[in-house]
Chain A
Amino acid sequence: MHLFEVYFAAAVLAGTPLMLAGTGELLGEMLGMLNIGVEGLMLIGASSAVVVTVKSQSPEMGLLAGSLIGGLYLLVFYGIPVVGFGTEQVLPGFAVWFIGLGLSQGIGAHYEDIAVRSKSTIVTLPLLDRVPVLKEIVASYPWPVYLAVILPIVVWWFFAMTRHGRNMRAIGEDPVAAAAGGGINVRGWRSLYVFINGCLGGFGGAVLAVIVLGEWGPDAVAGRGFIALAVVLFSAWRPLRIIAGSYIFGLLLILVSLGGALAWPIPSAFLSMVPYMGVIGILVLWAYLSHQRGIGYGPAALGMSLEESK
């Protein structure tokens, strides 16, 4: 029972960065901007957060720096070409990935394997911490875990209830019509949400390094950016499903340490493959089920610039 609680908590922690980055990516995609380079974004967020945390001795400062740097990074390397020049979106996404891959190694070069985990960020929920089992598995996590769960709910409320959210969906479906009919400043909105997407992706990376792993290493992110993309595909662009998707993929990510702890007779190399193969399996299965029911299409203008939509 104790082991279950520990690994449940580990899965929740592992799912949190995915949820943050996935929510950011969802916001971007709702406005028609596909950013393939979440991986590079998370790397930048993770490395800069660790550097700032070590320098300032404050994980909050590190998380803040990671998200702001992530936002600026995405705005410069993705926002300017895609929103400003109206280029196609896959290549700038690759550029974000590649540049993040290189730049983060430079940023974190002297900060490898420095432990930055701190207990100060843990928040204990009132009332719930008196219930026996829930005390362990729900009630006490670092605050970003709760924030990560609240965010998709806020986004859902945003899309479903507010005028702003509907305008966002209008941009994602048809930017030209949104600009002409709705009088929306499409470029301005897209720039804003590129920044927010960058902030959330960077924050996800920062949470991963500062809180989940507690250190920076060159392979800190290890494909989680692409798993975050898979979370968005899994969610079929419905914000609340981001929560479920992130925890499922988080569970896959901790499988290797769970296998080690339970001494499963499977080589750890094979267990390390499981998250990635699992993502493929879930995506294929999910696509099959959606195919059967004819659902699961993204925003119509996804991946199209304003110029292309005309």
Chain B
Amino acid sequence: MLRKSKGREKDDKGVGGSYPDIATIGNPNLHGSGTGNVVNNTDRNSVKDCKKLFGIGIAVDCKQWRLIAGEESQTRSLVFRVVSLCIVITIAALYLVLTVNIPDVLGQVLDQSFGTAAGLSEFAILATPLFLTALAVSVPLRLGLWNVGGEGQFFAGAWLASGVAFGLSHMTGGLLIVFMLMAGAVGGGLCVAIPALAKAYLNVNEIITSLMLDLAIVYWVDYWISGPWHYNLSQGGVLESRFIPAGSWLPALPIDGGIDSGLLLSLGIVMVFGVALKYTKIGYTSRMAGSGLGLCRYAGMPIRKAVITAMLVAGGLAGIAGTLQLIAVSHQLTPALSNNTGYLGIAVAVLAGSSALGILIMGIAVAAVLAVGQVAQIYGVPAEGVFVLMGLLLLLSVLATVLSRYRLIRRIGISGQGAEKIRERGRSLISLGKDINEHEVGHDAEARAVRDAEGRSQVASRMVGKAEQVSGNE
């Protein structure tokens, strides 16, 4: 047996030659370890190596398409999400085609969004709060926390801001607006304080608590606008507060059509957060926390502080969104202040996937859906249809995350038959190595042969592992 092996080796490669690392066969990214020889890793050579080593040419088959499971990929996920957005828009379009006269609707949508200057400002009004409420979901989401109560925080901010406006009505101009924005942030933050503290200290599910507060805040605002701040002239149970003092109205930008300056503020805040969360220590902490709170605890990071800060900041952002809507658009506190903005923010944040630019893009897309929805409502399409679309979007985007784990790539594979042959050959080589070890060796040549055989057996055992791994993947 010993002789036989030696003879074949001389024929093939010469005594003492080294062998390619098996991991490199068919895998150009890995390099052979410690063998000295740099193996040329083209596929054809791999086949040749295989043949040289084991006398099996068919071990490595031709290239074929395979679905490879791996890590989730941000890019592919984003692509899939855009695709899912398109699917949902198609569904909505089909529904509209079946129910209403499309040219009418489209014409009106264009009028009310991009077509005219006034329409563009309407569109900005829809998009402005969405950016902020989406950010209010996105910031805690980095830590794996769901702030679902954006709607309630929106109203809490608007409520406290109107309180400040009514209380400080002798003031005018910029200072009052600044005070109101601060009050809005504080109001939203107060609204989220209970869920944040309960989550940080007692690990109470923040989804339920923030949503419960959200439902409660609606009645709280109802009380103020039907009682103390009621707008006297409105008749018949219309829930509206008095107008806030004209000095606190946010001026429109000096552009044709008058886009309100709230849009600028909102865009600015999103950008600041986008930069800050990428380049500052706080952003780093939140990214770390997002990859696992246990890891953070191990690294000695202040998790409670991070959880509470993220939630309070989120509440503040939603509160500012409500305040902006109050001072720039409606100028009075009404239930119609929000266009389900808080809930839609969840969808935008999920679709955007923790990217500030994504929030802007997806915010605009969702605002466009809202604009179409508002027009379609005139034609009898139910307003809640928007929720169905958002639900489908969430569903498709979560599927996109899963699908992004898979890649369809073309690469060489080892067929079942080839793998079986390699396995057989490898086993015989291993047993050969064992035989030699057991043999008493005296001569140089034989010692060399032993070394070679040991080397081969190592290679072969790795080959068996590789072959099993490959055939296991199939």
Contacts and interface: CB of A to CB of B under 8 A. Distances in A.
Interface of A: 36, 40, 77, 81, 85-88, 90-92, 94-103, 105-106, 109, 218, 222-223, 226-227, 229-230, 233, 267, 269-270, 272-273, 276-277, 279-280, 283-284, 287-288, 291
Contacts of A273: 216, 219-220
A102 B213 contact: no
B135 to A, nearest CB: 18
Given A85-B402, A92-B398, A283-B208, A223 B202 contact: no
Interface in B193-240: 194-195, 198, 202-205, 207-209, 211-213, 215-216, 219-220, 222-223, 226-227
B141 to A, nearest CB: 10
A291 B216 contact: no
B115 interface: no
What are the nearest 6 A-B pairs in CB distance? Answer: A98-B391, A99-B391, A102-B388, A102-B387, A269-B223, A287-B202
B209 A280 contact: yes
A195 B38 CA distance: 58
Contact of A267 (B202, B223, B398): B223
A269 B217 CA distance: 10
A187 to B, nearest CB: 15
Contacts of B223: 267, 269-270
Interface string B371-385: 000000000001011
A222 to B, nearest CB: 7
B207 A87 contact: no
Given A226-B212, A276-B213, A269 B219 contact: yes
Contact of B391 (A95, A218, A272, A287): A95
A98 B388 contact: yes
28 contacts: A36-B207, A87-B399, A91-B397, A92-B394, A92-B395, A94-B346, A95-B392, A95-B395, A95-B398, A98-B343, A99-B392, A101-B384, A102-B388, A106-B388, A226-B208, A226-B211, A230-B208, A269-B220, A269-B227, A270-B219, A273-B216, A276-B213, A277-B212, A280-B195, A280-B198, A280-B212, A283-B204, A283-B209
Contacts of B194: 280, 284
B208 A229 contact: yes
Contact of B216 (A36, A40, A101, A276): A276
A101 B389 CA distance: 11
Given A90-B146, A233-B205, A269-B220, A222 B215 contact: yes
Given A91-B350, A91-B397, A223 B215 contact: yes
A151 to B, nearest CB: 22
A270 B221 CA distance: 10
Nearest to B390: A98
Contacts of B397: 91
A88 B398 contact: yes
A288 B205 CA distance: 13
Tell me what chain A mostly uses at the interface: helix, strand, loop, or mixed: helix
A96 B387 CA distance: 10
A81 B398 CA distance: 8
A102 B398 contact: no
B193 to A, nearest CB: 12
B401 interface: yes
Contacts of B215: 222-223, 226, 276
A96 B390 CA distance: 10
B386 A102 contact: yes
A229 B210 CA distance: 13
Given A269-B226, A270-B223, A273-B220, A287 B394 contact: no
A94 B394 contact: yes
Contacts of B213: 276-277, 280
B198 A287 contact: yes
Interface in B135-164: 146
A192 B219 CA distance: 39
B235 to A, nearest CB: 20
A106 B208 contact: no
Contacts of A226: 208, 211-212, 215
A294 B214 CA distance: 30
Given A106-B384, A283-B198, A284-B198, 10 more contacts: A87-B401, A90-B146, A91-B350, A91-B395, A101-B387, A223-B211, A230-B208, A273-B220, A283-B208, A287-B203
B226 to A, nearest CB: 7
Contacts of B209: 280, 283-284
A284 B202 CA distance: 7
Contacts of B385: 102, 106
Contacts of B205: 229, 233, 283
A86 B394 CA distance: 15
Contacts of A77: 391, 395
B395 A81 contact: yes
A226 B216 CA distance: 13
Contacts of A97: 391
Contacts of A103: 388
A106 B381 CA distance: 9
Contacts of B391: 40, 77, 94-102
Interface in B343-358: 343, 346-347, 350
A86 B220 contact: no
A6 to B, nearest CB: 24
A227 B215 CA distance: 11
